[in-house]
Amino acid sequence: MLDDFMVRAALAGIGVAVAAAPLGCFVVWRRMAYFGDATAHAAILGVALSLAFSMSIFIGTMVVALLMALTVSVLSGRGYAMDTLLGVLAHSALAFGLVAVSFLSGVRIDLMAYLFGDILAVSRGDLAVIWGGAALVVLLIGWRWSALLTSTLNEDLAHASGLDPKREQLVLTLALAITVAVAIKVVGVLLIAAMLIIPAAAARPLSRTPEGMALAAGAIGTLSAIVGLRAAYVLDTPAGPSIVCVAALTFLATSVIKSARPAA
């Protein structure tokens, strides 16, 4: 069954949706969209370093994404507006990554595949990495779910409950780095943030509880992956962007449904 490239692509898309769903909810609740975007942009530098040192792309992108996220956390609140800091770091990391790739002599690299994803080229080994990373993210978020919700709701309440909001932020940072590393093959650096944010935002009008929103986001992400791949196959369009387009249309649909509901 896994010899069929479309089956492997669908499984890869579902794996990314599973990883991105619970994490994307916290990105939306904490208004961390630019934070996720900056971490994703840094991944291309991780790709360059991985190729330069002949190491795993997954390890390289995860390490660089984690370093980017930690850098943002350390520098925030030190006289820079958060959006300015994220803009500088995100675009600088992307630019340095692209320049670093150009210095790799003797290494053939399809840069477009890393920028926009190449889900149709996913191998069995890639599937193992994607689903292993997705399982790790789900376990990590599930383990700290209550603590993460409390610190997201109110930091003072978290302190009163004996929780450390900075530690919970670190958990999210680690989960974000893992998600970026597993998603780069599927949707690429430029679309990872979209798969984090759009399914979660689309699920919000349909949900009454945080757990319900996470499950709905996972379902929407999975549906987007399957329908987007089918649309790409039929219409001969890029697979990664097609998946994001389906997610965006789903967000539009749930927004219309929310607007059509009578006010309570």
Span 234-258, pLDDT tens digits: 998 888 889 999 999 999 999 888 7
Mean pLDDT of the chain: 84
| φ/ψ of residue 249, rounded to 5 | -65, -35
Closest by CA position to 260, among listed 217, 210, 206:
206
Note whether residue 246 is domain-resident. no
Say what the pLDDT of residue 1 is. 53
The alpha carbons of the chain give a radius of gyration, in whole angstroms, of 18
In angstroms, rounded to a whole number, what is the distance separating the alpha carbons of residues 177 and 6? 27
pTM over 0.75: yes
With b for 16 or more beta-carbon neighbours within 10 A and e for fewer, the 38-51 pattern comes to bbbbbbbbbbbbbb
Note whether residue 179 is domain-resident. yes
Say what the pLDDT of residue 117 is. 79
In angstroms, rounded to a whole number, what is the distance separating the alpha carbons of residues 164 and 169? 9
Note whether residue 131 is domain-resident. yes
Kindly tell me if the per-residue pLDDT of 2 is higher than 60.
Answer: no
Note whether residue 264 is domain-resident. no
Note whether residue 228 is domain-resident. no
Closest by CA position to 116, among listed 206, 238, 226, 20:
238
Q: For residues 14 and 225, is the Cβ–Cβ distance under 8 A? A: yes
Amino acid code (one letter) for 60 = G
Note whether residue 212 is domain-resident. no
At 239, list the tokens.
Answer: 């697979």
Closest by CA position to 226, among listed 207, 242, 238:
242
Closest by CA position to 185, among listed 246, 225, 259, 129:
129
- CATH code for position 142: 1.10.3470.10
Q: Binning pLDDT at 50, 70 and 90, where does residue 63 land? A: confident
At 122, list the tokens.
Answer: 């996913």
Give per-residue pLDDT as tens, 204-236.
988 889 999 999 999 999 999 999 999 998 998
Note whether residue 79 is domain-resident. yes
Kindly tell me if the per-residue pLDDT of 202 is higher than 60.
Answer: yes
Say what the pLDDT of residue 53 is. 80
Percent of residues, the chain, with pLDDT higher than 70: 92
Say what the pLDDT of residue 106 is. 64
Domain holding 141, by residue range, is 5-190
Q: How many domains does one find in the chain? A: 1
Note whether residue 200 is domain-resident. no
